[in-house]
Structure 1
Amino acid sequence: MKGNADNSFEVDYRYDYAYDVLAIKVTRPFKYDKTVEMDEGVLLDFDEDNVPVSLEILDASKRLNVPKYSLKNLIDFKMSVSVDDKSICVCANFKVMLHNSEQTPVLESFTSNYSNIPSMETEFATA
């Protein structure tokens, strides 16, 4: 875990080319508790302490508007998760190579906080 005091965590990712699924998970050990569907096909997992621990993006190339091959080797990834009494917000910035130039697709997703997750701000970045 990186920088626990400032609520930031290192992550690793896996991209399944055949199913077009991008999975991003914190590198520290955790005990899974629940999944919140942010948008259709955008799933955010929380551990037993209500800390976000993974993000799964189905149809990732379509959602990020990039070719599948560009997701096989992410250059960089940063994500922030904000939770308040009413909503959960995810903003994820990706950096990929596309035709020998860097592209920076962004994913923003919001949903109601129907799981009653406590208010927090958390950041994630590639290890």
Structure 2
Amino acid sequence: MDVNSTHRKEESWDYDFVNDSFFSYPKEVPEGVEYVTSIDFDGIILDVGSDNSVLGVEILDISKKLNVPKSNIQHPANMKIEIDVSKETIEVKLSFALIMRNKPITRTALASGANDLNLAVASQVRAVTA
């Protein structure tokens, strides 16, 4: 199987404390690539570009998904978002390193669903540092 693999380190992120919504997006989008649609996997939303790549990731109710207080999401140590697209499915794994009571902890959340948009088979890791 020919799998495209990308690793993005140049990510930006934003956290909306009131709505408990986290958003990760590239600092630069390739020229000519525009937002086309979104895919929602139970509150983990992938924004898809005109080249069928994942442009952004939004996580709704992130503190509930990670089972941590909202205040801990505001200052994460680091985050990793893994997106694996096969011909049939899309799987997303979120790994967040947080500090709770002066101790590092790691929390993960998983989501998956059908590849109804026929996105290209690919693997993508997004390293997001605070």
Same fold, TM-score > 0.5, yes or no: yes
> Does 2:82 correspond to 1:95?
no
Displacement of 1:58 in angstroms is: 0.9
From 69, 72, 79, the equivalent of 1:70 is 72
Map 1:32-47; keep pairs closer than 5 Å.
32-38=35-41, 40-47=42-49
Aligned residues: 122
State the Cα distance separating 1:121 from its structure 2 match: 0.8
Q: How much does 1:34 deviate?
A: 1.4
Q: Which residue number in structure 1 is paired with residue 7 of structure 2? A: 8
| Offset of residue 6 of structure 1 | 5.3
Range 22-31 or range 62-71, more displaced: 22-31
Q: Which runs of 4+ in 1 moved over 4 A?
A: none
**Per-residue CA distance 1:30-67 (angstroms, 9 max, x = gap):** 521111112x2111111111111211111111111010
For 1:83 and 1:43, the matched residues in 2 are separated by 14
Distance 1:111 1:96 in 2: 27
For structure 1, the 5+ residue unaligned runs are: none
* SS class of match (1:105): strand
8 Å Cα contact 2:5-2:122 kept in structure 1: no
Q: Determine whether 1:52 maps to 2:54.
A: yes
Q: Which amino acid aligns with 2:114?
A: S
Distance in 2 between residues matched to 1:107 and 1:50, nearest whole Å: 24
TM-score of the two chains, using structure 1 as the length reference: 0.89
SS in 1 for 2:52: coil
What stretches of structure 2 of length at least 5 have no aligned partner?
A: none
TM-score by length of 2: 0.87
Q: 1:115 aligns with which of 114, 117, 128?
A: 117
